[in-house]
Amino acid sequence: MSKPTILTVDDDPMVSAAITRDLRDRYAADYRVVRAASGPQALEVLATLALRGTPVALICSDQRMPRMTGIELLEQARVHAPGAKCLLLTAYADTEVAIKAINDIGLDYYLLKPWDPPEQRLYPVVDGLLDDWRQANPDHTSDVRVVGHRWSDRSYEIKTFLARNHVPYAWFDVVLDAEAQRLCALANATPDDLPLVLVPDGDALRSPSTLELAEALGLRTAAAQPLYDLCIVGGGPAGLAAAVYAASEGLSTVVIEREAPGGQAGQSAAIENYLGFPKGLTGADLTHRAVAQASRFGAEMVLARSVVGFETRGPVHAAMLDGGGEIEARALVMATGVSYRRLAADGLEQLTGRGVYYGAMASDAAQCQGDDVYIVGAANSAGQAAINLAAFAKRVVLVVRAANLTDSMSRYLIERITAAPNIEVRYRSEVKACKGAGHLETLALMNRDSGEVEEVSSSWLFIFIGASPRTDWLGADIVRDDHGFVVTGQDLHRPGLAASWPLPREPLALETSVPGVFAAGDVRLDSMKRVASAVGEGAMSVYLVHRYLAMI
């Protein structure tokens, strides 16, 4: 297969030669760098590349060109190279136009000229864009293959685990795909063996657990050493931020994650209000970057393992793992986040994983092509899911118990939902029942004011209805409120809490009722339930861990 292409577009011969030279110096080994002198010429080049089947990874265009501006070119380029990353070179006077293009045409980045020195100004930007492109366009020759039923809850769990851990895979429906039937025959697989997971250079896995799958993929499922300075339970934004700051400051650090890094944020199709990313980024992208950053500083990540309890042994805390084993550390940060609250509706439990899902991966949208999709929820997570699903679904219906969205959802999301022609909001409504033979087929929706019930046809229901903290594994020594959220710092002195602080000193800000055990992110009482605040608390927890370790 030919190298992917980087296309530069500029009408100034000297600038065109300079940007092409700098890009070739850095990327020529992996990419073919091609130059065009105008927007129309660039469109001709893109058309030729499309006919040849040559992928285009990046289009780097000047804004001010005669006949066609850079933004006009990048908008039309989507026809021939829909997956290409778009970089606009601008003068300072054009920054407002460039920012507007982020929303209007999906511009990925704009860079002010001149870009010298390229090692500091150009290459870091292009490196990030090309990394994102490669992640979205992997080499599929070594993909994991998954064979199963479309409406199987176990198949959905396996696919979700692979997607959230950034493992490329190919999906084969045993009912629809002849290749799936051939693979089952080759493996002598029975219906009870599904989902069948075929790992390159490995044995066929028959309905594997996530732990078995993780081990077969070579993911780390056990700690490398018995004692650490810091053990972080949970790999969401708070846990990953704590890992980055702890490892970068020299603390031996391990993160234990029961599913995949990212938490609920990792499933978000778009996080658009996170500082420093004007175009926004997906939860998967944020997670991928954070994991790479933590790993770079030396933090370990133990996956597919649940912590089922902990013990305090003098100056050391031990996290007890499901299936046996433990990890000891001098300090512990709980960053287990929250899970979506379960919806009470007749027939729903039997159909969970078979058309009914809690949360939604960005990758779930494509399988809803041309269908009617229903979403329960009114917070930002539900709004982002609606926008993402609407790009593929025929119609998306938000089922909202309240009379409006303004009390629970950010304004920018409400504006986009209102503007989308195929998104409908049903206020003062709730799901009363789910029905289907083997998978979801119909929903019963009730109007909360009139009590009237309407039955609608749909194979898809995604649920985003609030948060329940993941603290069931904690013992009685960790004080929680009536809803299970962990109490920290001065809140331990709140009236009505059965809290006892065992030391003469006051508890540190994020410290729990057990000295040396901290809580950060959504699991903590009165946290903001936002990605940025979780990252901030994760970073802050490491500062407090340093203070604690200096005391013992």
Judged against a pLDDT cut of 90, whether residue 461 lies above it is answered with yes
The pLDDT score that the predictor gives to residue 203 is 85
**Overall fold of domain 348-465:** FAD/NAD(P)-binding domain (3.50.50)
Euclidean distance between CA atoms 123 and 22, whole angstroms: 9
The arithmetic mean of pLDDT across residues 507-519, rounded, is 97
The pLDDT assigned to 267 comes to 83
pLDDT band at residue 550 under the 50/70/90 scheme = very high
Q: Is 67 exposed, middle or buried (0-12, 13-18, 19+ CB in 10 A)?
A: exposed
Residues in the chain: 552
Q: CA 52 to CA 44: how far, in whole Å? A: 13
What's the chain's Rg over C-alpha atoms?
25
Closest among 460, 466, 502 to 484, alpha carbons compared: 466
Least confident of 46-55, 148-157, 203-212: 46-55
CB contact burial 147-182 (16+ within 10 A = b; e otherwise): bbbbbbbebbbbbbbbbbbbbebebbbbeeeeebbe
Task: Identify the pLDDT of residue 529.
Answer: 86
For 44, the enclosing helix (H) or strand (E) is helix 39-52
* Nearest-angstrom CA–CA distance, 12 and 355: 55
The pLDDT of residue 1 is above 70:
no
CB 38 within 8 A of CB 11: yes
CATH class of 227-337+468-551: alpha beta
Q: What are the tokens at 548?
A: 């604690």
The amino acid present at 533, given as its one-letter code, is S
Q: What is the pLDDT of residue 367?
A: 87
Q: What is the pLDDT of residues 168-187, one digit of tens each?
A: 899 999 998 999 999 999 88
Whether this prediction's pTM lies above 0.85 is answered by no
Q: Among residues of the chain, what percentage have pLDDT more than 90?
A: 79
Q: What is the mean pLDDT of the chain?
A: 93
Region 520-529: mean pLDDT is 94
What is the percentage of the chain residues whose pLDDT exceeds 70?
99
**pLDDT digits 0-9 by tens, 380-435:** 999 999 999 999 999 999 999 999 999 999 999 999 999 999 999 999 999 999 99
The residues near 490 (Cβ < 8 Å, ≥ 6 apart) are: 506, 507, 509
Task: Tell me how crowded residue 256 is: count the other CB atoms within 10 A of its CB.
Answer: 23
β-strand partners of 318 = 311, 328
Kindly state the helix (H) or strand (E) to which residue 196 belongs, with its residue range.
strand 196-198
Residue 519 has pLDDT above 70, yes or no: yes
* DSSP three-state, residue 169: strand
- Domain residue ranges in the chain: 5-136, 141-216, 227-337+468-551, 348-465
Rounded average pLDDT over 216-229: 95
CA atoms within 13 A on the CB side of 32: 11
Task: Count, in order, helices (H) and strands (E) of the chain.
Answer: 15, 26
pLDDT per residue as tens digits for the range 18-54: 999 999 999 999 999 999 999 999 999 999 988 788 8
- Left if phi > 0, otherwise alpha if psi is -120 to 50, otherwise beta: which for 443? beta
Among the listed residues 234, 283, 185, the one whose alpha carbon sits nearest the alpha carbon of residue 530: 283
H-helix or E-strand spanning residue 238: helix 237-248
Q: What is the pLDDT of residue 362?
A: 73
For the cut 60, the answer to whether the pLDDT of residue 152 exceeds it is yes
Q: Which residue did the predictor score with more confidence, 425 or 282? A: 425
The 10 Å Cβ neighbour count of residue 524 is 26
Is residue 184 packed enough to be buried (19+ CB in 10 Å), middle (13-18) or exposed (0-12)?
buried
For residue 407, the one-letter residue type is D
- Over residues 75-102, mean pLDDT: 92
Inter-CA distances, 413 with 178, 386, 390, 395, 399, Å: 42, 10, 13, 17, 16
User: How many other β-carbons are positioned within 10 Å of the β-carbon of residue 192?
Assistant: 7
Residue 457 pLDDT exceeds 60: yes
CB 298 within 8 A of CB 273: no
- Considering the segment(s) 5-136 as one domain, its CATH architecture is 3-Layer(aba) Sandwich (3.40)
Other CB atoms within a 10 A radius of the CB of residue 543 amount to 15
The 10s digit of each residue's pLDDT in 236-245 is: 999 999 999 9
Q: Is the pLDDT of residue 12 over 60?
A: yes
- Give bridge partners of residue 462 from the DSSP assignment: 357, 375
- What is the predicted pLDDT for the residue at 499? 63
End-to-end Cα separation, the chain, in angstroms: 59
The predicted structure's pLDDT at residue 264? 85
Q: Which of 391, 393, 384, 344 is nearest to 360 (CA)?
A: 384
Answer yes or no: same fold for 227-337+468-551 and 348-465: yes
Span 104-111, mean pLDDT?
A: 93
Q: Which residue has the tokens 């300075």?
A: 229
Return the pLDDT at 7.
Answer: 98
CA angle 71, 125, 7 (to 5 degrees): 50
Report pLDDT digits (tens) over 290-343. 999 999 999 999 999 999 999 999 999 999 999 899 999 999 999 999 988 899
Q: Evaluate whether 495 touches 480 at the Cβ level (below 8 Å).
A: no
Instruction: Name which of 254-263, 407-416, 490-499 the model is least confident about.
Output: 490-499
Across 81-100, average pLDDT: 92
Q: Which CATH code for domain 141-216? A: 3.40.30.10
